[in-house]
Amino acid sequence: MTSAHSKLYSDDVSLVVVVVDTNPFFWAGAALPFADFLSHVLHFVNSLLLLSNLNHVVIIAAGVSSCAYVFDSGNAGASGAADVAETLGKASRKMEEFIKQDARETASNGTVADGGAASLFSGALSLALCYIQRIFRSGTRHPQPRILCLQGSPDGPEQYVAVMNSIFSAQRSMVPIDTCIVGTQDSAFLQQASYITGGVYMKPQELSGLFQYLAAVFATDLHSRTFLRLPKTLGVDFRASCFCHKKTIDMGYVCSVCLSIFCKYHKKCSTCG
Amino acid sequence: MDYRPSRMAVVAKCAEAFIREFFDQNPLSHVGLVTIKDGISHRLTEIGGSPESQINALMGKLECSGDSSLQNALELVNGYLNQIPSYGHKEVLFLYSALNTCDPGDIMETIEKCKKSKVRCSVIGLAAEIFICKHLCEETGGSYTVALDESHFKELLLEHAPPPPAIAEYAAANLIKMGFPQRGAEDLISICSCHKKIKSGAEGYICPRCKVNVCELPTECRTCGLTLVSSPHLARSYHHLFPVAPFDEVTFKLGQKGGQNCFGCQQSLINTGGQSNIHVRCPKCNHHFCFDCDIYIHESLHNCPGCESQRSSSR
């Protein structure tokens, strides 16, 4: 797969794909109400669009039973300043529709009932990457893409392989994945994602000032980032966890056929035998 | 129609691209380079796990002279590969431009030896098809291809980067001991064991068994011999274990509801330009995708966005 195309468009034009976590199980118990959170995000999206008229923003919602595109600034009939309120209105409506639809699907599924349910983050990330590939195909003049993930729900371990595949694909296409954690726990997947792809990982301390954090850290385009001092995570834990007990290990045994990791020596690999 | 500026230069450049792609697809593997010159085989670089040393050797001055001897090369390579533990898959890739081979002994015996040690030999020819190369590849289970021009050569070479399917009897599952090092503390100053330079602990990794500082992963600790990897290196190969199902081709039926846009990139699937409206659909999640997303999903992403966006019963 080819890596990033020549940046003939202009150094500071960006395409930002925002992946919003809409997991109702998380937002029901969160400190910041979802409506406030959404208004912070939409104002941030607006400020991105105001930075340059060529900037392009796409919002993808990651729900509990489905993922979907919620907003694409390229579709809006760009006709000037009157669009500010229209943008916000359209995006909020679409988001509300998505959440209702997602809730209906979750109810009909019936299998997801506990509060620790993860959102379908891997699906939303895959959609974001497909959209970015479409932008790459549109010719040599295109904005510089990046992905911003607003995540609150815990990581779903069943998504590990899919998330890692997306991370490596983003790394090859040179698309940074930025993360802003709006929940209480750090996300190991997103720390790895931001580290491997060269993005920014941040966990704001005051969620009521979310817009300020977003505008100060995540609004700058990739070219201008080289001149700024952005938050750096001190060290990502890349240790693996063993398949038998799920605890992180320093030294383990890896099966030569299927690459499963065990903490103690077994005569036969339990995954592939 | 020959390779410009010279065959050697083209081969070196394509080999560099191949090595990068190879380490991208197989992060835990090792590669070594061998040259055949004047009928003798020389070892250009040691078998190592990092692309930089191999690429530096390729970028250096490489000269051609004299005859080529396939048997000598095979003997040399056999000697090296015999030291590899049994769980490793052994392979040789020849980039062969000569039209003959001048051997000191019976090459058929050498081929038998390779077959016994389970070394898979493949050849990419630049000139014409040669019987002995074809025989070698057939006997050892490798592939023999001849390049038509420069771009074809690069294509053939890059086809060897993804790992071949393993044959069940040959792949004995062993559990190999590996270490997962952490970064050292910020204030720890020590000497790294690979370059013998002073480094801060936060720039390198600490081997969990002998506690020396190593600069990059994956590597083998020079002091205690433990293979050191990080979990993304293992995760890079998981997509071979869980591949995406191939998509089915479907055409648009009039009056079909939904599926107007590609699920992945939201591009319209309806071609108004008179071309037939063929696109693809995932057999598991029934979402529709355009051909470009299909290629991207199967070659680079290895996840179907539709399947990942659904909460199936297995989750």
Residues A205 and A78 in one domain: yes
- The CATH H-level superfamily of B7-170 is von Willebrand factor, type A domain (3.40.50.410)
Indicate where chain B has its CATH 3.30.40.10 domain(s).
Answer: 246-312
CATH 3.40.50.410 residue ranges of chain B are 7-170
The proportion of chain A whose per-residue pLDDT surpasses 90, expressed as a percent, equals 44
Whether A122 and A243 share a structural domain = no
pLDDT over 70 percentage in chain B: 90
Number of folded domains that form chain A? 2
Q: Are A130 and B264 a contacting pair at CB < 8 A?
A: yes
Q: Sort out which chain B residues have CB atoms less than 8 A from A234's CB and list them.
A: 186, 202
Q: How much of chain A is helix, strand and coil, in % rounded to 5?
A: 40, 15, 45
Shortest alpha-carbon distance between residue A209 and chain B (Å): 31
Give the span between the Cα atoms of A185 and A197, in whole angstroms.
21
Structural domain contains residue A20: yes
Q: Which residues of A touch B24 (CB under 8 A)?
A: 172
Q: How far apart are CA B289 and CA B269, in angstroms?
A: 8
Quick check: A124 pLDDT over 90?
Answer: yes
| Residues A246 and A163 reside in one and the same domain | no
Task: Note the pLDDT of residue B273.
Answer: 53
Q: pLDDT digit string (tens) for A28-49?
A: 888 999 999 999 999 999 999 8
A265: containing domain: 239-272
User: Is the CB of residue A64 less than 8 Å away from at least one CB of chain B?
Assistant: yes
The domain B246-312 is placed in CATH, from the list 1.10.1040.10, 3.20.20.70, 3.30.40.10, 1.10.10.10, at 3.30.40.10
Name the band, by pLDDT with cuts 50, 70 and 90, for residue A5. Answer: very low
Q: Is A254 on the interface with B (CB under 8 A)?
A: yes
Token pair belonging to B73: 């090369």
Label residue A77 by pLDDT band (50, 70, 90). low
pLDDT of chain B along its 315 residues, tens only? 578 888 888 999 999 999 988 988 888 888 999 999 888 899 988 888 888 888 888 888 888 888 899 999 999 999 988 888 777 888 999 999 889 889 998 999 999 999 998 899 999 999 889 999 999 999 998 999 999 989 999 999 999 988 887 766 666 677 888 888 887 776 777 788 777 777 776 678 888 888 888 887 778 888 888 888 888 888 888 888 788 999 998 877 655 555 678 898 888 877 655 455 688 889 998 888 989 999 999 988 998 999 998 876 544
Phi-psi region of B30 (alpha: psi -120 to 50; beta: other; left: phi over 0): beta
Phi, psi at A107, each rounded to 5°: -65, -40
**Local confidence band at A159 (pLDDT 50, 70, 90 cut-offs):** confident
At A221, which amino acid appears?
A: D
A260 and A181 within one domain: no
Residue A190, in any domain of the structure: yes
Among the partner residues B179, B242, B301, nearest to A161 by beta-carbon distance: B242
Report yes or no on A9 lying in a domain. Answer: no
Give the per-residue pLDDT at A98: 94
Quick one: A129 and A170 in the same domain? yes
Looking at the structure, tell me whether residues A165 and A234 fall in a common domain.
yes
pLDDT band at A116 (very low <50, low <70, confident <90, very high): low
| Amino acid, res. A139 | G
Nearest to B211 by CA among B201, B203, B199, B196: B201
Q: Which long-range contacts (CB under 8 A, 24 or more apart) does B295-300 make?
A: B296/A1, B296/A129, B296/A130, B296/A133, B296/B264, B297/A130, B297/B244, B297/B247, B297/B264, B298/B244, B298/B246, B298/B247, B299/A1, B300/A1, B300/A169, B300/A172, B300/A173
Q: Which residues pair with A254 in a beta bridge?
A: A261, B176
* Chain A CB contacts of B264 below 8 Å: 126-127, 130-131
CA separation for the pair B38, B41 (Å, rounded): 8
Place of tokens 């240790």: A239
**Do A23 and A38 share a domain, yes or no?**
yes
Q: Which residue has the tokens 């479409």?
A: A134
Are A120 and A252 in a shared domain? no
pLDDT in tens, A227-266: 998 888 777 777 777 777 777 788 888 888 778 888 888 8
Contacts of B13 (CB under 8 A, 6+ apart): none
Distance from CA of B258 to the nearest CA of A (A): 14
Task: Give me the CATH number covering residue A70.
Answer: 3.40.50.410
Q: Is residue A213 part of a domain?
A: yes
Residue B172 confidence (pLDDT)? 67
Q: Do A231 and A245 fall within a single domain?
A: no
Give contacts of A109 with chain B, Cβ < 8 Å: 311
Tokens of B7: 């065959």
